[in-house]
Amino acid sequence: MFEFHQDKETYFDYQYRTGRDFLLPFVLEKSSLPPQAKILEIGCGEAGVLKAFLEAGHTCVGIELQAHRVELAKVFHAEALAKGQIQFVTRNIYDIDPEKELSFKFDLIILKDVIEHIPDQERFMGFLKAFLAPGGKVFFAFPPWYMPFGGHQQICKNKWLSRLPYYHILPKPLYRWLLQTGGEPADRVQELLEIKDTGISIERFERILRQKGYSVLLRRIYLLNPIYFFKFGLKPRIQTPLISVIPYLRDFISTAVYYLIEPK
């Protein structure tokens, strides 16, 4: 496991700067947010990304399932929280009725490195529309499942397993055996196996978009994920146009994809 995965203050800063320098500009390429727009981030973690939107004058809500991460988010956003500029909900997204439990709907919904963790993604994409205001947009960023670390194996405690690419696509019994043999604790093995069940390719994601009636406003496939600039000092690189249009091959050699979508 890399040190920044354990240093939450550093990781918060990486997420904030990624949101400020890449995510927000990407959204604004195809969508002008209204003043004081309502922004929802699902799976917000410590809500580093939302800091960029708070600085732009927007009102933010973060939904996060893990209570300890929400407690850290409240510390990092203490001033905005006191001013009523941000609020947090510690719930499973499927348990929230936006019509009854939220005071407004959202101009932009953000899911950064989250969709690959959500079960029943077809149901989720339909459910998501209930949170959108008229004209609202949704931003997604995720690692394609077949990319070198699409299984999130970088979170492994074993140094070699955390740096070994592609083995997450092995058959599930063999993958489990490797993790267990490498000394990964049972809860980490279970987490990685769950990601194996929910990891998503570019092709499957776009198929779900079509099935659920979404239009793609903007898509950008990255050879080098923008957050790698802050994690490893690697300058972001957009995937070549040729590779970007070759289904499946692009998944193996692209480390991130950004989407801005809206309901048709």
Which whole number is the average pLDDT over 175-201? 97
Task: State yes or no: pLDDT of 258 exceeds 70.
Answer: yes
Tens of pLDDT, residue by residue over 198-228, are: 999 999 999 999 999 999 999 999 999 999 9
**Alpha-carbon torsion 185, 187, 190, 195, what sign?**
negative
How much is the pLDDT for 4?
43
Tens of pLDDT, residue by residue over 72-107, are: 999 999 999 999 999 999 999 999 988 888 888 999
Alpha helices in 40-184 (DSSP H): 48-55, 67-76, 78-82, 98-101, 121-127, 159-163, 172-181
Which whole number is the average pLDDT over 26-47? 95
Which whole number is the average pLDDT over 7-31? 94
Q: Which two tokens stand for residue 258?
A: 């950004």
Domains defined along the chain, listed by start: 3-146+200-263 (3.40.50.150), 153-198 (no CATH)
Report the side by side order of strands in the sheet with 237-238. Answer: 86-89, 59-63, 38-42, 106-112, 132-142, 256-263, 214-224, 237-238
Task: State yes or no: pLDDT of 2 exceeds 80.
Answer: no
Cα separation, 138 vs 151, in Å, equals: 24
Tens of pLDDT, residue by residue over 105-122, are: 999 999 999 999 999 999
Q: Give residue 24's Cα distance to chain centre.
A: 14
Alpha helices in 83-171 (DSSP H): 98-101, 121-127, 159-163
Decide: helix, strand or coil at residue 56: coil
Position 248 confidence tier, pLDDT thresholds 50, 70, 90: very high
Tens of pLDDT, residue by residue over 162-171, are: 999 999 999 9
Which whole number is the average pLDDT over 139-158? 96
Decide: helix, strand or coil at residue 124: helix
The amino acid present at 239, given as its one-letter code, is Q
pTM over 0.85: yes
Cα separation, 136 vs 45, in Å, equals: 22
How much is the pLDDT for 6?
56
